[in-house]
Amino acid sequence: MPNSLIPLGFICLSLAACRGDETIAAYGAADNKWHLTEIDGQPFAATATLNFPEPGRIAGVAPCNNYSADLDAPYPWFDAQHLNVTRMACDDLAAESQFLQALQDMTLSEVSGSTLILSNVAGREMLFTAAE
């Protein structure tokens, strides 16, 4: 009976080790930045970025503040948890609120070339383009 647990344990460890490679393969290297261009089909005029600095983490710049969060799901799932945001005031706080709320609402991700699409089952969508 104990011998049957060894392969299962090995598989679990192997999958955990692959998560980092999968994240890099999907979203790009840690220093790659994605720039938000649209939320729900509407152009996003403010500046907001998203990057994946390490497996299980997201970070970026919202219209006013820097943010980071845990990414609690492997690609293609997207689940931003424990959002941390700096607290600087600016004229774009409404856009920042819209961005951060949308980011937390997303549940799926898809990378196609230089485009990253975050979406959810309710039909919401965020469109990002890769920084050059």
Q: What is the mean pLDDT of residues 18-25?
A: 49
Task: Give Cα separations from 17 to 22, 23, 45, 72, 77 (angstroms).
Answer: 9, 11, 38, 15, 17
Proportion of the chain above pLDDT 70, given as a percent: 77
Least confident of 3-7, 10-14, 30-34, 94-98: 10-14
d(CA 91, CA 128): 22
What is the assigned CATH class of domain 2-130? mainly beta
Q: What average pLDDT score do residues 31-52 get?
A: 94
Provide the pLDDT for residue 131.
84
Residue found under tokens 């930045």? 33
Could you state, in order of their start, the residue ranges of all structural domains in the chain? 2-130
